Amino acid sequence: MVFNKIQIKDDMSLIMNSISTKWPVLIKIILWPGKIAFKLSLIAFLSGTLFLTQVHGQYSDTTNSQGAWQNPNIGFALDITTDASDIDSTKEWTSAGVNIRSAELALESNIDPFSRLNINLNFSEKGAAIHETYFLLHSLPGSLQLKGGHMLTRFGRWNQFHTHAMPFLSEPRIYQEYFGGHFSANGLELSWLLPLRHYIEATFSVYENISGHSHDSDPTPSGFTSAIDLKAAELGYTKHGSHYHAPDGSIILASELDDSASPQVKEAGSNKRAEDLVIGGRLKTTFELGDNWSIDWGSSMVYQKNYKFSQRINGKSYSKAVYGTDITVFWHPLTSNRHRNLNFGIEFLGNYEGFERLENGELFADTNHRFGFFSHLHMQINPTWHSGIFGELYQAKEGEKYERKRYGYFLSYYLSHFQFIRIEYSYFDKYKNLRPNNRIQLQYDAVIGYHTHGSQR
């Protein structure tokens, strides 16, 4: 809010007019018996109150055009899915039923002209959770912005998108593999818009830990009922009664897969040293290619020196790093971008993670280094129909370097700007010794009120 001489003069005229309407009250105060100091204090308090009232009224008009001063914008989004898959048999498809994947309550408002507060609460059949809650100081000197709280971090292309806001139905599985879902954490992000003619934004981040959350899951084969069963399947073992068969024919007992003394992540809220925290960064820019084409490019990295701590060796820790680069091409014709547009891109990710393993009673420290990518194409055909394809290929985070591949097609119909129906087919080759899974999912999504997730395109 910029004050100039004309504005100050107008403000003072308003205030004097307001005071003049209250002159009978002022005269009564002057004639009221009492000490002069008390009278002057009372007059000053009344005048100050009138001043703040007038400035506050104009101030609120300039800082929150959506409504009264500090009344937050409120919105609600509902995301419902159902599916059918051949996870158990190619002849008979099964369904997990109807899933309320998320129900988001969003509140946001300006705190003042220099800061903003965002709150996003998520409700599902599993309970309620804080999805995002953060402040944003967007007008710091030197073209700086500071964001702090619990947030979907500035990492990669898709991490800041809520699941229902993506153009496709299911989350990229490479995020689930290397983060456990969307990378969501408590922390601070300091962004700097470089003083150049070309747009370049650099972000330096500090987070509490590397952790993820997901609203999406894949069907599991019948008989694989425990976490050990799933771990065996991911390692390529087949289940036979109470034990498993490895690809080389050896027999693996369940006790060999259940290492209760494996390294553990430090509990949230526990005391941490500087080396226990996560440091990260992101660099992004945009290139305009004429009137109708543009390219977004970004590169991201997070690193935690003490990601997990050994339960066998006191003071021994293992590190973790996830890094990547992403590029997205946009076609947005100036004459019809509301009705037709196209974007396609690819994101490469790498995951480096230390761990320990027992062999014949001996303890070894080791590392896994895995790579992969996720690619997509999304086209808006007209105001109501959207369509696209996606594909990903990545190495499993743990165990052998088994490549998991997944691809699919999606079609969306927008009943209006506030609700849509989407159908998606996907093929997922996830488990080494199990048959790939074909899956069809149906999604309904609706929004009421004010609901946005920042600058996403």
Q: How many residues make up the chain in this entry?
A: 457
Distances 365 to 65, 108, 242, 252, 318 between C-alpha atoms, Å? 58, 46, 29, 22, 9
Average pLDDT over residues 28-38: 52
Q: Is residue 72 part of a domain?
A: no
In the structure, what pLDDT confidence band is assigned to residue 12 with cuts at 50, 70 and 90? Answer: very low
Residue 31: per-residue pLDDT:
53
Residue 455: per-residue pLDDT:
62
Burial of 48 (0-12, 13-18, 19+ CB in 10 A): exposed
DSSP 8-state assignment for residue 275: G
- Which of 66-70, 398-402, 443-447 is the least confident region? 66-70
Same domain, 258 and 289: yes
Same domain, 294 and 362: yes
CB burial string 355-391: b at 16+ within 10 A, e below: bbeeeeeeeeeeebebbbbbbbbbbbeeeeebebbbb
Same domain, 46 and 113: no
Residue 448: per-residue pLDDT:
94
Q: Are 406 and 373 in contact (CB under 8 A)?
A: no
Taking the C-alpha atoms of residue 98 and residue 101, their distance in angstroms, rounded to an integer, is: 9
Helices and strands per DSSP (H, E), number in the chain: 6, 21
Q: Is residue 71 part of a domain?
A: no
Residue 247: per-residue pLDDT:
72
More confident site: 106 or 398: 106
| Total domains in the fold of the chain | 2
Closest to 437 measured CA to CA, from 80, 81, 84, 82 = 84
Could you tell me the sign of the dihedral formed by the alpha carbons of 320, 428, 163, 215, in that order?
A: negative
Residue 64: per-residue pLDDT:
44
Q: Is residue 24 part of a domain?
A: yes
Q: Is residue 457 part of a domain?
A: no
Average pLDDT over residues 35-50: 51
| Domain C-terminal end among 39, 63, 87 | 63
Average pLDDT over residues 390-413: 89
- Which of 84-98, 108-122, 166-180 is the least confident region? 84-98
Average pLDDT over residues 113-125: 90
* Range picked from 29-33, 91-95, 393-397 for highest mean pLDDT: 393-397
More confident site: 224 or 197: 197
Same domain, 55 and 148: no
The residue type of 196 is L
Same domain, 120 and 257: yes
Q: Are 285 and 201 in contact (CB under 8 A)?
A: yes
Residue 51: per-residue pLDDT:
44
Q: Is 246 left (phi over 0), alpha (psi -120 to 50) or beta?
A: beta
Q: Are 347 and 326 in contact (CB under 8 A)?
A: yes
Average pLDDT over residues 143-148: 96
- Which of 28-42, 106-120, 240-254 is the least confident region? 28-42
DSSP 8-state assignment for residue 46: H
Taking the C-alpha atoms of residue 396 and residue 177, their distance in angstroms, rounded to an integer, is: 7
Same domain, 18 and 123: no
Cβ count near 262 (within 10 Å): 14
More confident site: 374 or 260: 374
Same domain, 244 and 388: yes
For residue 53, pLDDT beyond 90: no
Q: Is residue 210 part of a domain?
A: yes
For residue 7, pLDDT beyond 50: no
- Crossing angle between the packed helical segments 5-21 and 36-63, to the nearest 10 degrees: 130
The residue type of 267 is E
Mean pLDDT, the chain, integer = 82
Taking the C-alpha atoms of residue 258 and residue 253, their distance in angstroms, rounded to an integer, is: 9
Paired sense of beta strands 238-240 and 212-213, if any = unpaired
Share of the chain above pLDDT 70, in %: 80
Same domain, 44 and 184: no
* pLDDT digit string, tens, across residues 283-301: 999 999 999 999 999 999 9
Residue 315: per-residue pLDDT:
81
Token pair, residue 31, equals 């004639």
For residue 195, pLDDT beyond 60: yes
Task: Give 374-431 as a 3 state SS string.
Answer: EEEEEEECCCCEEEEEEEEEEECCCCCCCEEEEEEEEEEEEEECCEEEEEEEEEEECC
Residue 399: per-residue pLDDT:
60
Q: Is 14 left (phi over 0), alpha (psi -120 to 50) or beta?
A: alpha
Q: Is residue 355 part of a domain?
A: yes
Taking the C-alpha atoms of residue 324 and residue 369, their distance in angstroms, rounded to an integer, is: 13
Q: Where are the strands (E) in 212-361, listed by range?
A: 212-213, 238-240, 243-245, 251-253, 264-265, 278-289, 293-309, 317-331, 341-359
Taking the C-alpha atoms of residue 7 and residue 13, their distance in angstroms, rounded to an integer, is: 10
What SS3 state is found at 174?
helix
Same domain, 44 and 101: no
For residue 425, pLDDT beyond 80: yes
* pLDDT digit string, tens, across residues 398-408: 666 688 999 99
Cβ count near 247 (within 10 Å): 13
Same domain, 326 and 440: yes
| Domain C-terminal end among 15, 38, 63 | 63
| Domain C-terminal end among 63, 95, 110 | 63
What SS3 state is found at 255?
helix
**CATH code at 391?**
2.40.160.10
What SS3 state is found at 14?
helix
For residue 424, pLDDT beyond 90: yes
Residue 259: per-residue pLDDT:
67
Structural domain that includes position 310: 77-449
Q: Is residue 304 part of a domain?
A: yes
Same domain, 270 and 320: yes
Q: Is residue 68 part of a domain?
A: no
Token pair, residue 58, equals 């104009």
Residue 426: per-residue pLDDT:
97
Residue 402: per-residue pLDDT:
80
Apex CA 181: angle with CA 180 and CA 185, to 5°?
Answer: 85
- Crossing angle between the packed helical segments 23-31 and 36-63, to the nearest 10 degrees: 160
Residues ≥6 apart with Cβ < 8 Å to 192: 142, 143, 144, 145, 201, 202, 203, 204
Same domain, 26 and 162: no
